Amino acid sequence: MAQQAPGVRVLVVDDQDLVREGIAALLGIQPGIVVVGSARYGAEAVELAQRCEPDVVLMDIRLPGMDGVAATALIRRQLPRCRIVMLTTFDDDEYVGRALKAGAVGYLLKNLPAAELAQAVRLAHAGVAQFDQTVLAALAAGSPAPDLLTPRETEVLRLISAGATNKEIAARLYLSEGTVKNHISRVLSRLGLRDRTQAALYARENGLV
């Protein structure tokens, strides 16, 4: 009998016991997710990450002692393959900028439904940046978030906003239509958008066209 593929290993870090335990419990019943530990403090998170080697860490920003940003930087240095997503109630653009510089691959707010949070964990593990819409708006008001899109994905987004079809984008960029579809899927996922219409609006609002 073939062995079932292991789930995404997740470490939950939050200083509020009820919140931390609730997140861990909700994620623990989601398919493809395995919660390997939880931590209340930044230093404890760093220690547990070394011991448990999670694939994804859900990290709060404000923690007693070492904050979530400092803990993120340390974990990323020690476990470069580990993906860290900030999960917090604070959408301040200064926090977002500090978290990204420390190596976080996403920034989400705690009002996410459990299924959406689980999907965000899976996408983060796959290397897809995850940002709350409110956070994206804050970033757009200041400076753009670094590395949200590759140069090729940005080109695809610009052509979408110009009304180009997949076939036209493929011809313009010398790509197959299948490759174009993959690029569009990643653009929508990384920017937290539902469809091409939202993508076109995002491009116009952020000065990409």
Per-residue pLDDT of the chain (209 residues; tens, 9 = 90+): 344 457 899 999 999 999 999 999 999 899 889 999 999 999 999 999 999 999 999 999 999 999 999 999 999 999 989 999 999 887 676 778 788 888 888 888 888 888 888 988 998 888 777 777 766 666 555 544 445 778 888 889 888 888 889 999 999 888 899 999 999 998 887 777 778 887 887 787 777 66
Q: What are phi and psi of 71, to 5 degrees?
A: -65, -40
Length in residues, the chain: 209
The overall pTM is greater than 0.75: no
**From the CB of residue 181, how many other CB atoms can be counted at a distance below 10 Å?**
14
Looking at the DSSP bridge assignments, the partners of residue 12 are: 38, 58
The amino acid sitting at 64 is P
State how far the Cα of 169 lies from the Cα of 177, in Å rounded to an integer. Answer: 8
State how far the Cα of 187 lies from the Cα of 191, in Å rounded to an integer. Answer: 6
**From the CB of residue 160, how many other CB atoms can be counted at a distance below 10 Å?**
25
The amino acid sitting at 16 is Q
8-13/106-109 β-pairing: unpaired
